[in-house]
Amino acid sequence: MNEVLDQPADYNLPPEAASTQVSERYLARPTIQSALSTPPIARLLVLAAPAGFGKTVQLEILAKKRAEEGHCVACLTLTEGSNTPLVFFQKLAHSLNDIQAGLGDMGETPARNTGCFDPVQAMEFVLGNILQLNRSLLLVLDNFQLVTHPDLLSAINRLVSYAPPGFCLAIGSRVKPRLNVATWRTKGYLIEIGERELRLSEDETRLYLQCCGHNLDRLPLKKIHSYTEGWITGLKLLSEWLKLNPQRIEQLLEFQTDQASIGSYLAEAAFDLIPPDRQSALLSLSVVQRFNGNLAEALTGCGDGQALLEDLESLQLFLIPLDRDRLWFRFHRFFAEFLRALLYKQDVERFKQTHFNASLWFTNNHMQNFAIEHAYHAQDLELLAALIDGCGLSLINRGQLKLVHKWRRHVPDEIAVKYPVLVLSDLWASVVDLGLDEANRALDDLLLRWREGDTNAPLTDSMLAALAIKSLMALQKDDLRTCVKLARRVEFQLGARTAFLEVAMLAIGALANVMMGWHEAARKLLTLANQRNHFLAGNYLHMQLINVEVLLLLEQGKIKQAELLFQTLRERATSWFNEKSKAIVLPKITQGLIAYQQGRYEGVAETLKRMLSIVDAISPVDIYAQGTLCLAHLQYMQGNAKEATSTLVYMQNLAARNKAWRYYAQAVGYEISRILQETGDDRIKRAEQRLKSLNWTDLASNYVHMRLNPVLWVQGLTRTRLQQARGHYSEALHEITQLRGMLLDDWEGLERIRLDLLAALSYQQLGYQERSQSLLVQCLIAAEREDVRSLFLEEGEAIRGMLDQLETAERQPALQDFIRGLLALWPGESAQRLLETVEEALTDREQEVIRHAAQGMSNEEIGQQLTLALGTVKWHLHNIYEKLKVRNRTQAIRRARELGMLGS
């Protein structure tokens, strides 16, 4: 038999007499051997798979096991000569006679005259002899793919059909045997094991490599298993390569094995054994990663592609079906590489032409990625450039901008200059080197050239693409009015140009309106963008539109709505894009902003730091700056003051570079608030100096077009905090009154809560305790309604003191829980402070009950889980409510979570 792993000691014996000895290093595969340990009714065992999948080894193990159990075993490895009926029966008789003298006797059947030999009559003698045998018999026929003689196949069918109980025929074949398997499958006589079952699992791959002396880490092991796809021979060759290259384990991803060795094996074991027309078909199909009948017709020129694939599959030529209906297939990776290398070696021009044909087919069937790849391999650079230009926008909408840049590098500049998307791709890629201003001038020159001097010329898709990039650059420079102006140009002629470009510009305009406080205008553009987005197949813009709507809700202070909408976005993005894709960076920053507002700080700083480091060259400075300021807040709360200061300095540099002065003012305002929360004697003086270091009037003049001037707002808040630090609380209240006048009636943001917090602090210091407490309670109610916590922590220890006093006096359980939650989040605070307020600790059983309740279990389910009566569960919950000073299950779970009773 054709041993795949280590050859048995007597492998060089004549094939028909080969022993069933199994290599000591053979990897045990209990799943397959269990399947082969069939019930008595099974008469036929078929192991059908391409060469090198270990069929022979499994048959050897089966034969050895049956012999040890006392069964009669006859093994026959077939050769090309065995396809002659007379030769086959002579060898069969020899094997049977080794079991018992006369068992292979065929009476007076002519031994030499093949013309007179009757296979059916000979099989009748065999059947008669087996009937006389009083023991079970296993007959093993390996290399059964060599049996094609119709009379011989009929005789073997008869053997299986009329064999006595206890007889079993085990077949090893590289093709599906041409026997009556459908009938025997229906009757339950058949056990089939194919390529899928014979593939090594990842665990089996690890065990085999360990047997060979290779103990690999998980990542290299996964790479090996992925590359070999469970093919035992491929794994054996790779193991031998590792022995010769023990220091190159980290290069396994680039491993190509010994192509001469593996090519020789595949040629001898599979390729050279099939007819020339099938060899030609295999070579043509090898250039594509996957293929169906229609594509097979285009590549091979055959009349019935599906029939061709079914024939190739029956020949077990390393063909893997990709769907249940067996319409799409691919080759095993090793076999595909062998075929492609062979095609290139035999005929380079045919290799290129086949790739060209594949590119045309994929283009006509709207599979752009494959079409581009095959155009590249066909070395048709004009076709490659045209395909990138034609589907580049679609690729971007699927989050594959990097792919556009990758293929663009293969197009010569003299060709690329004729294709607008490639020209814009170059410009986009060079923004970092050019700088925004220079890139903007290059865009203007490009637009002028495309318009041929006519500024009133109608917009083409190329011009609109250039304007889309211009709009993004304006967003990066905080030039929000230009973003809105360009979006209006699209709005006035909506539907006239490519939907992707129109949606992109509308989304940018909507975000600009959000930042300027024009919420109705933002919603109008979002509605139009969503209508046009229905015409797009990709999801990148859809995701960004949802993200803009989330940001709109955040600006309006609707944190809970924003969080719910973001949950929808996160669920979709998980299925749309890879976790490492740049496409999800902006939504991830938005997620960090929501979590910060809600006081869910765990892991947020790390996520923000990572996302802010990989934002594209051109990105909305608004989202980037908000994320950076949020990161600085978190770093201060975590006690990393030095790191937070560096983050603030970086934010100021970023804002100054992009002339986003409102964010520069925010960074300075937060810097001053941190100075005022320090304990040094000179903190007020330092804060005053920092406040005077900015020309607030000049900075504010850049934002007269915004509903709420962000620079004047930050200046007013900073002066209010400075007055409070000086002890001038009446003056602080006057500043607060001025700030309230800046808020418009329809403004629903969080800033009103912030002003009330600052006012409550001033009233407390002035002795108006009832007024102060009333304002603080209003702030807490509004904040609890929107699940907002960050505002309180930002105002420092003074607000904490007020919350401490209110927590002991507050009688509303829900509000008291919210206050306790806030205090637990305070920088430097721990759950131990809250534990001290629990007069009596929960028992172990009560802790079990509350943990199960937190998992969503009902009282009945808790009782079943802990083997408690329903009344006992209710009694435990009553005690829990008393000890935690809450009224219901929801409050108890929340309180237990604050106290750290629920673990992680």
Where residue 40 falls among pLDDT bands split at 50, 70, 90? low
Q: How far is CA 140 from each of CA 101, 149, 179, 346, 725, rounded to the nearest angstrom?
A: 19, 19, 16, 40, 95
Write the DSSP assignment of 214-263 as a string of letters: ----HHHHHHHHHHHTT-HHHHHHHHHHHHH-TT-GGGGGG----HHHHH
Distance CA(890)–CA(599), nearest Å, equals: 19
Percent of the chain with pLDDT over 90: 20
pLDDT for 504 equals 86
The confidence score (pLDDT) of residue 510 equals: 93
| Number of Cα atoms under 13 Å in the Cβ half of residue 479 | 17
Tell me the average pLDDT across 307-315.
84
pLDDT of residue 17: 35
Q: What is the pLDDT of residues 603-659, one digit of tens each?
A: 899 999 988 887 655 578 888 889 999 999 999 888 888 899 999 998 898 888 888
409-421 pLDDT, tens digit each: 888 888 887 777 7
CB 38, CB 45: distance < 8 Å: yes
What is the Cα–Cα distance from 175 to 48, expressed in whole angstroms? 6
- Residue-wise pLDDT for 513-526, tens only, equals 988 888 899 999 99
The 3-class SS string of 96-115 reads: HHHHCCCCCCCCCCCCCCCC
Residue 191 has pLDDT above 90, yes or no: no
Residue 892 scores a pLDDT above 90? no
253 or 296, greater pLDDT: 296
Q: Give 428's contacts (C-beta < 8 A, 6+ positions apart).
A: 469, 617, 618
Q: What pLDDT sits at residue 697?
A: 93
pLDDT for position 454: 59
Average pLDDT (699-725) is 91
For residue 506, the model assigns a pLDDT of 92
pLDDT at 890: 78
Model confidence pLDDT, tens digit, residues 467-497: 888 888 888 888 888 889 888 888 887 777 7
- Tell me the helix, strand and coil percentages in the chain, rounded to 5: 65, 5, 30
User: Is the Cβ–Cβ distance between 48 and 194 less than 8 Å?
Assistant: yes
Residue 503, pLDDT > 80, answer yes
Lowest mean pLDDT, pick from 85-89, 250-254, 459-463, 540-544: 250-254
Q: Is the dihedral of CA 633, 639, 644, 645 positive or negative?
A: positive
Q: Which residue has the tokens 């030039």?
A: 479
Q: What percent of the chain has pLDDT over 70?
A: 88
pLDDT at residue 180 tops 60: yes
Whole-number pLDDT of residue 479: 86
Segment 741-796, tens digit of pLDDT = 888 766 667 888 999 999 999 999 999 999 999 999 999 999 998 889 998 988 88
pLDDT at 838: 59
Per-residue pLDDT reduced to its tens digit, 833-880: 444 455 577 888 888 898 888 888 899 989 888 888 888 888 888 888
* 686-711 average pLDDT score: 90
Best CA proximity match to 502, nearest among 448, 464, 545, 473: 464
Task: Give the pLDDT band (50/70/90) at residue 374.
Answer: very high
Which pair of tokens denotes residue 370?
Answer: 């494959």
Domains of the chain listed by start with CATH number: 15-198 (3.40.50.300), 202-257 (no CATH), 542-637 (1.25.40), 751-829 (no CATH), 844-898 (1.10.10.10)
The answer, yes or no, to whether residue 432 has pLDDT greater than 70, is no
| pTM over cut 0.85 | no
pLDDT of residue 81: 85
Q: Give yes or no for a contact between 589 and 611, defined as CB atoms under 8 angstroms apart.
A: yes
What pLDDT score does 15 carry? Answer: 38
* pLDDT surpassing 50 at residue 16: no
Determine the straight-line distance between the first and last CA of the chain, rounded to whole angstroms: 57
d(CA 709, CA 689): 23
545 torsion bin: left (phi>0), alpha (psi -120 to 50), beta (else): alpha
- Average pLDDT for the chain: 82
**Least confident span in 52-56, 286-290, 371-375, 666-670:** 52-56
Distance CA(389)–CA(372), nearest Å, equals 10
Q: Is the distance from CB of 103 to CB of 172 less than 8 angstroms?
A: no
